Amino acid sequence: MKRTLYLKILAGYAAFGILGFLTIATFTSRLTLNYITEDTASHLYRESNLLAANYAANYYRGTMTLDDVTAHFNAVATYLDADAQVINPNGLILINSGSDSYEGAVENFDITAFGSSYYQTGTFFDTFSEDTLSVFSPITISYKVRGYVLIHKPVRDLVSLKDGFINISYMTLAVIFLCAFVVLGLFTCTVYIPIRKITRAARDYSEGNFESQINIHTNDEIGYLAASLNYMATELSTLEEDQRKFIANVSHDFRSPLTSIKGYIEAIMDGTIPHEMQDKYLNIILFETERLNKLTQSMLELNKYGAKGTMLDISSFDINNTIKLVVQSFEGTCQEKKISFELILTGHTSFVWADMSKIQQVLYNLIDNAIKFSNPDSTITIETTEKNEKVFISVKDTGIGIPKDSLKKIWERFYKTDLSRGKDKRGTGLGLAIVKEIISAHNENINVISTEGVGTEFIFTLPLKQDENGAIV
Least confident of 124-128, 177-181, 272-276, 404-408: 404-408
Residue 471 to residues 89, 314, 400, 466, Cα–Cα distance (Å): 110, 19, 42, 5
Q: Are residues 286 and 318 in the same domain?
A: no
Q: Are residues 332 and 301 in the same domain?
A: no
Q: Are residues 22 and 151 in the same domain?
A: yes
Domain boundary among 289, 305, 321: 305
Domain boundary among 143, 161, 179: 161
Q: Which alpha helices (DSSP H) does 52-65 contain, by range?
A: 57-61
CA 333 to chain centre: 58
Q: Are residues 13 and 137 in the same domain?
A: yes
Q: Does 321 score more than 50 pLDDT? A: yes
Q: Does 92 score more than 60 pLDDT? A: yes
What residues have CB less than 8 Å from 115, skipping those under 6 apart?
none
Least confident of 61-65, 93-97, 237-241: 237-241
Q: Does 424 score more than 70 pLDDT? A: no
Q: Are 93 and 85 in contact (CB under 8 A)?
A: yes
327/211: higher pLDDT: 327
What pLDDT is recorded for position 299? 66
180/425: higher pLDDT: 180
Please tell me the distance from the alpha carbon of residue 270 to that of residue 338, in angstroms, as a whole number. Answer: 42
What pLDDT is recorded for position 271? 81
Candidate ranges 61-65, 82-86, 96-100, 252-256; pick with highest mean pLDDT? 82-86
Q: Are residues 27 and 142 in the same domain?
A: yes
Handedness of CA 354, 356, 358, 359 (dihedral sign): positive
Please tell me the distance from the alpha carbon of residue 360 to that of residue 354, in angstroms, as a whole number. Answer: 10
Q: Does 433 score more than 50 pLDDT? A: yes
Q: Are 317 and 352 in contact (CB under 8 A)?
A: yes
Q: Are 175 and 17 in contact (CB under 8 A)?
A: no
Q: How confident is the model at residue 114 (pLDDT cuts 50, 70, 90)?
A: confident
DSSP 453: T
300/65: higher pLDDT: 65
What residues have CB less than 8 Å from 305, skipping those under 6 apart?
434, 437, 438, 441
Of 171, 221, 181, whose CA–CA distance to 198 is shortest? 221
Q: Does 419 score more than 70 pLDDT? A: no
Please tell me the distance from the alpha carbon of residue 185 to that of residue 254, in angstroms, as a whole number. Answer: 60
What pLDDT is recorded for position 317? 93
Q: Are residues 299 and 421 in the same domain?
A: no
What pLDDT is recorded for position 425? 46
Instruction: Count up the domains in the chain and report the number.
Output: 3
Please give the residue range of the domain that contains residue 296. 221-305
Q: Are residues 257 and 327 in the same domain?
A: no
Q: Does 285 score more than 70 pLDDT? A: yes
**Does residue 172 fall inside a structural domain?**
no
- Mean pLDDT of the chain, nearest integer: 82
**Does residue 248 fall inside a structural domain?**
yes
Q: Are residues 294 and 433 in the same domain?
A: no
What residues have CB less than 8 Å from 246, skipping those under 6 apart?
413, 414
**Does residue 244 fall inside a structural domain?**
yes
Q: Are residues 247 and 283 in the same domain?
A: yes
- Looking up residue 325, the CATH number of its domain turns out to be 3.30.565.10
**Does residue 84 fall inside a structural domain?**
yes
Mean pLDDT of 98-126: 81
- Looking up residue 155, the CATH number of its domain turns out to be 3.30.450.20
Domain boundary among 161, 184, 199: 161
- Looking up residue 253, the CATH number of its domain turns out to be 1.10.287.130
Q: Are 216 and 222 in contact (CB under 8 A)?
A: yes
Least confident of 4-13, 324-333, 338-347: 4-13
What pLDDT is recorded for position 309? 45
Q: Are residues 286 and 320 in the same domain?
A: no
What pLDDT is recorded for position 284? 76
**Does residue 446 fall inside a structural domain?**
yes
Mean pLDDT of 171-198: 82
Q: Are residues 337 and 445 in the same domain?
A: yes
124/222: higher pLDDT: 124
232-280, pLDDT tens digit by residue?
A: 888 877 777 767 766 765 665 676 678 778 888 888 888 888 888 888 8
Q: Which alpha helices (DSSP H) does 307-386 contain, by range?
A: 319-328, 331-337, 356-372
**Does residue 186 fall inside a structural domain?**
no
Q: Are residues 234 and 152 in the same domain?
A: no
**Does residue 445 fall inside a structural domain?**
yes
Q: Are 195 and 58 in contact (CB under 8 A)?
A: no
Q: Are 121 and 132 in contact (CB under 8 A)?
A: yes
Q: How confident is the model at residue 37 (pLDDT cuts 50, 70, 90)?
A: very high
**Does residue 346 fall inside a structural domain?**
yes
Q: Does 471 score more than 60 pLDDT? A: no
